Amino acid sequence: MATNLKVAKAELTFEAGFPQPEFSLFHDAGALMHHLFKRLEPHGLRLNDLRVERGIANVGDHQIVCFLFNYWMTVHIRIERIEVICSELPRDYVEKFKAAILDVLQAIKDYRPEQSFRAFAMALGLHAKLEGQPVREYLARFVTKVPQNLGPSTGGGAIFYFGPEGDRLLASIIADVSAVVQDAIYLRIYGLWDAKKVAPASLSGVADVLVRQALEGLDLSMSD
């Protein structure tokens, strides 16, 4: 029987990588910001939440940054990738965040219709209580041998790596004791998808499938 998770905190990182560095991406920064603002204003983007950061010595530092949802979401447009960092992922905002991420990708396509992507990556972090089971007791099932002569063991964690499966290039799961929420588990579920096989509109669905499969594989379920 699956152990139920009661999520106390969640965070999300999303990346869309370009096939190669796009050194001319900021050739017309004004037009790029126009498309970003047009797509993201319905999600609450304000002018003072949109800025250009110019790299001084490192061209990779040149980027456009957007802040959304009361700074819970930060969008970085770089020459080699788009990066979206959600420091908080409230459950009632999940669909709003998904829609905003898709509009970031669409803004790039509006600006450069020929622009393609190499891969999409998603990392979901969950800090959650386990109903009816101490977290260290749960994690102990994944540790077959504890190193000796290093002092009293205070617990263990696990990381699992997975190869290609369907349109997914790879995946991984980290299970450990949360350093943020007391007596809670920390799970990090990561997936990487081939952008030639997965369209942006399908990302939400394939990511949801990965999360569900990961939780099922760990004998865990998510409470509403």
Residue 57 has pLDDT above 70, yes or no: no
pLDDT (mean) for 37-53: 95
Strand 220-222 and strand 3-17: pairing?
parallel
Residue with tokens 């004791």: 177
pLDDT (mean) for 56-60: 72
Residue 224 has pLDDT above 80, yes or no: no
Same domain, residue pair 128 and 173 = yes
Q: What is the pLDDT of residue 112?
A: 96
Same domain, residue pair 134 and 222 = yes
Q: What is the pLDDT of residue 145?
A: 82
Contacts of 6 (CB under 8 A, 6+ apart): 128, 129, 130, 131, 223
Domain boundary (51, 82, 115) is at 115
Domain boundary (84, 115, 146) is at 115
Residue 135 has pLDDT above 90, yes or no: yes
> Residue 1: what residue type?
M
Same domain, residue pair 90 and 157 = no
Q: What is the pLDDT of residues 4-33, one digit of tens each?
A: 999 999 999 999 999 999 999 999 999 999
Same domain, residue pair 202 and 181 = yes
Number of domains in the chain: 2
Q: What is the pLDDT of residue 70?
A: 95
Domain boundary (115, 137, 169) is at 115
Q: What is the C-alpha to C-alpha distance for residues 125 and 108, in angstroms, rounded to an integer?
A: 27
Q: Which domain holds residue 107?
A: 20-115
Q: Is the model's pTM score more than 0.75?
A: yes
Residue 197 has pLDDT above 90, yes or no: yes
pLDDT (mean) for 40-67: 89
Residue 192 has pLDDT above 80, yes or no: yes
